[in-house]
Amino acid sequence: MFTGNYSISLDSNIKEFTIQDTSDYTSEPKAGFSGRRIVLTLSGGATLVPAGTTTSYIDWPFSAGDSLTLDVLDRDYAISVKVDWFVIAPQPGSTYEKVALYAFTGNSENFYYGLTSQQASDPNIITDNEYFSNKSKLRTNIDDANQAVLVGEDIQSAQAALDNAYYLMINQNYFF
């Protein structure tokens, strides 16, 4: 019995993430599959693909290996990641699809860490109430996004929190 599975890891490059096929192909070898496909769906229903991709999905042929790095995070998104395994002769009891939600917060975390680095050389800035309050809001929004996905499986709330964080970042001259 085959159960399609994958994991996602973050890179030091915050614009990317890596998806790893962790399926056990013992019962159904890769030769019995015709391909794999990744669909990244945003909270509003739109799909996300790397630049230059003409389809709304990402082909992931077995010839490309079991690890694929995707450069799609121009900003932070809550994403429904779906992988389909296309099998030539489906077997009863096997699962050829996996869908999971992820909140990608690397851009926000990177900006947030930049503020901390700045504080290391200017520690007194944390005593500025406005600065502290806005940085606290940013932290709360990042945490909200993660909690919404991990606890609530709520992509809408996660994206709303990331949008709030994004607003603080693109208007950093006013808030920090």
Partner 1 sequence: MSELIPISNIIKYAKICQYLSAYDNQKKEALKGSTITPNLPRILYMERKAVEWKYEINPSDPSLEAAGNYLYSLCGKFLSQAKQISGSGGGGQIIINPGSGLPINFIPNRLQFTVATGSSYMEPGDTSYLIPDLKLIASTLIISSDGLILGVGLSDRLSYTFTQTPLGFLITFNIPVNQDQLIIIDWISGQSSGSGTVESDKFKVVNTYADAEVFYNNLVAQGATDIWTILVISDTENMGGKKGAYKYVPGFTTSLSQIALNFND
Binding-site ranges for partner 1 (CB under 8 A): 10-12, 14, 106, 109, 112-113, 115-117, 119-121, 123, 126, 132, 135-136, 139
Reduced to 3 states (helix: H, G, I; strand: E, B; else coil), residue 13 is coil
Q: How many CB atoms lie within 10 A of CB 112?
A: 19
Q: Are β-strands 33-42 and 97-103 bridged in parallel, bridged antiparallel, or unpaired?
A: unpaired
Q: Is 18 or 53 the residue whose CB approaches partner 1 more closely?
A: 18
CB of 74 to partner 1, least distance (A): 18
What residue has token string 């680095």?
117
Q: How many CB atoms lie within 10 A of CB 91?
A: 12
CB of 96 to partner 1, least distance (A): 32
User: Furthest-apart CA pair in the chain: how many Å?
Assistant: 66
Q: Is 67 or 117 the residue whose CB approaches partner 1 more closely?
A: 117
Q: Is 84 or 109 the residue whose CB approaches partner 1 more closely?
A: 109
Q: Is 10 or 49 the residue whose CB approaches partner 1 more closely?
A: 10
Q: Which two tokens stand for residue 92?
A: 């009863």
CB of 157 to partner 1, least distance (A): 20
CB of 109 to partner 1, least distance (A): 5
Check if the beta carbon of residue 81 is closer than 8 Å to that of residue 99: yes
